[in-house]
Amino acid sequence: MRRIRNPPAEESAMTTINEILRGAQERPTTFEEYLNCYADQVGDLVNEFIPTGSHDDVDAYLYEPLLAYSRNGGKRHRPLICFAACLAVGGDPERATSAAAAVEHFHTAALIHDDIADEAELRRGEPCLHLTQGTGLALNMGDLALMLVNGTVLNDPLLDDATKMRVMNELIAMTRRTIEGQALDIGWARDGRYDLTPEDYLVMATHKTAHYSGAVPLAVGAIVGGGSEAEIEALRNHGLDTGLAFQIQDDLLNLVGAEEATKKDFRSDITEGKRTLVVVHALQSSSDRDRLIEILSSKEKDPAVLQEAVDIMEASGSIDYARTYAENLTQIAKNRLTEMVPPSDARDLLVSMADWFVSRLK
């Protein structure tokens, strides 16, 4: 039976983040090296916050499937940037453990619910949770992951009450913004909205992704690390810009990616009629707008038709437009961070993060 790490600072055989960071044979110098070096161990650390049930069937129907899903957790960039932000302001990363776990469990909840809403089939190369466990149980597991968000921070004895309240307020605001962005994303598809502009997309993607994939992990890491208000806001803004670039690149990978993209439902954004930056730009720019709308409205899965949609976006310059927009965002983010946060290895990793966000399997 697994241990429950509750409260997170109790003495146990579990490895701490400081032990993980000290355990590397070589210090990572790029963000990709940072992820590759620590992702698996940080994933194990985060998953210690998933408890066990009071009945074997509760484990079978709730905790065990959620744990298995979370173990297939990808790069773990959100908790890792939370730790890096704490280090960048001179803090002890151990104090960021509960906040880092909270953000990662929110990510898990968001993916579970998002896959249900999108009727998706694959997540990280595996069948989606609602297909293996049923929609009702998958929804319940997503709800549990949401419960873990504030619960991990509330029970952290390393944080004083004022810091807990500030971090939880950040997490609550993050949750609201993400849900607002999701409402726009789903609502536009449901209502057949093709009158959108790139500015509309940027509002949606900032809400849906940039806050929880960049801004809030960095801000809460800086808060628990004792950073100044200027440092906290600099890191938050860095996360907003790079988090938005991350989403734009994710959209591009779904259309024109290679190895990693095929682990998801490749080109499913077209099937689902997603209003990505590429799509809304093409709708404004392409002479084949009517054909693109027809494809986006048809829930098409035929690879030849999906390729036709991509060709339309290519011909309109929309893929290059989105890629350039993401690259410009990252340059702005890097310049701002180097001006506002003192030099350190952790700051350098976060600068490198900006480039990694837009160079993943380009």
pTM beyond 0.85: the answer is yes
Task: Confirm whether 274 is domain-assigned.
Answer: yes
Q: How far is CA 35 from CA 46, 311, 353, in A?
A: 15, 34, 10
Task: Confirm whether 57 is domain-assigned.
Answer: yes
Which pLDDT does position 11 carry in this prediction? 40
pLDDT (tens digit, 0 to 9) for every residue of the chain, 362 residues total? 333 344 443 444 468 999 999 988 788 999 999 999 999 999 999 999 999 999 999 999 999 999 999 999 889 999 999 999 999 999 999 999 999 999 999 999 999 999 999 888 989 889 999 999 999 999 999 999 999 999 999 999 999 999 999 999 999 999 999 999 999 999 998 899 999 999 999 999 999 999 999 999 999 999 999 999 999 999 999 999 999 999 999 999 999 986 454 456 789 999 989 999 999 999 999 999 999 999 999 999 999 999 999 999 999 999 999 999 999 999 999 999 999 999 999 999 999 999 998 887 54
Task: Confirm whether 10 is domain-assigned.
Answer: no
Which pLDDT does position 260 carry in this prediction? 53
Task: Confirm whether 73 is domain-assigned.
Answer: yes
Which pLDDT does position 271 carry in this prediction? 93
CA distance 99 to 105: 10
CA distance 111 to 108: 5
Element (H, E) at 53: none
Give the DSSP per-residue string, 58-101.
HIIIIIHHHHHHHHS-TT-HHHHHHHHHHHHTT--GGGGHHHHH
- Which residues form the domain of 71? 28-359
CATH of the domain at 54: 1.10.600.10
Please give the tally of structural domains in the chain: 1
Task: Confirm whether 4 is domain-assigned.
Answer: no
Which pLDDT does position 125 carry in this prediction? 86
Task: Confirm whether 18 is domain-assigned.
Answer: no
Which pLDDT does position 237 carry in this prediction? 97
Which pLDDT does position 46 carry in this prediction? 96
CA distance 34 to 51: 28
Give the DSSP per-residue string, 84-152.
HHHHHTT--GGGGHHHHHHHHHHHHHHHHHHHHHHT--EETTEE-HHHHH-HHHHHHHHHHHHHHHHHH
Which pLDDT does position 118 carry in this prediction? 87
Going 219 to 220 to 225 to 226, the CA torsion angle's sign is positive
Which pLDDT does position 330 carry in this prediction? 95
- Is residue 44 within 8 Å of residue 15, measured between CB atoms? yes
Which pLDDT does position 264 carry in this prediction? 60
Give the DSSP per-residue string, 230-263.
HHHHHHHHHHHHHHHHHHHHHHHHHHH--TTGGG
Q: Is 187 helix (H, G, I), strand (E, B) or coil?
A: helix
Task: Confirm whether 22 is domain-assigned.
Answer: no
Task: Confirm whether 7 is domain-assigned.
Answer: no
Which pLDDT does position 25 carry in this prediction? 78
